[in-house]
Amino acid sequence: MLQIKVVGSGCPNCQKLEALCKEVINENNLDAQIEKVTDVNQFADLGIFMTPGLVVNDEVVSSGKIPTKATLQGWLQEKVI
């Protein structure tokens, strides 16, 4: 199962990233769990210094931007065990 963390304060870009993750997961029938991390004190611990951030299986894959749908899909499929 993919462990996905959407890191951000809850701003519109963070919400868009979460929605995009859900969309890609549903369209590709991926077994994944999404966690929202909104506690600013945890951002640096996760390796995120710009939001929105995306952590998949404890690895930072994106920080400070929203990836395209195709890029996100590639990242998630690459991480499927």
CATH code of the domain containing 16: 3.40.30.10
Query: What are the pLDDT digits (tens) for 68-81?
Result: 999 999 999 999 86
Catalytic: 21? no
Kindly report whether the global pTM for this prediction surpasses the value 0.85.
Answer: yes
Query: What are the pLDDT digits (tens) for 41-50?
Result: 999 999 999 9
Catalytic residue among 14, 17, 20, 56: 14
Catalytic residue among 1, 11, 19, 40: 11
Across 17-24, average pLDDT: 98
CA dihedral 59, 56, 46, 49 (to 10 degrees): 90
Q: For residue 58, give the 3-state DSSP assignment.
A: coil
Residue 4 has pLDDT above 70, yes or no: yes
Q: Are 7 and 53 a contacting pair, CB within 8 Å?
A: yes
Across 37-63, average pLDDT: 97
The parent domain of residue 37 ranges over 2-79
Q: How many domains does the chain have?
A: 1
Q: For residue 20, what pLDDT is reported? A: 98
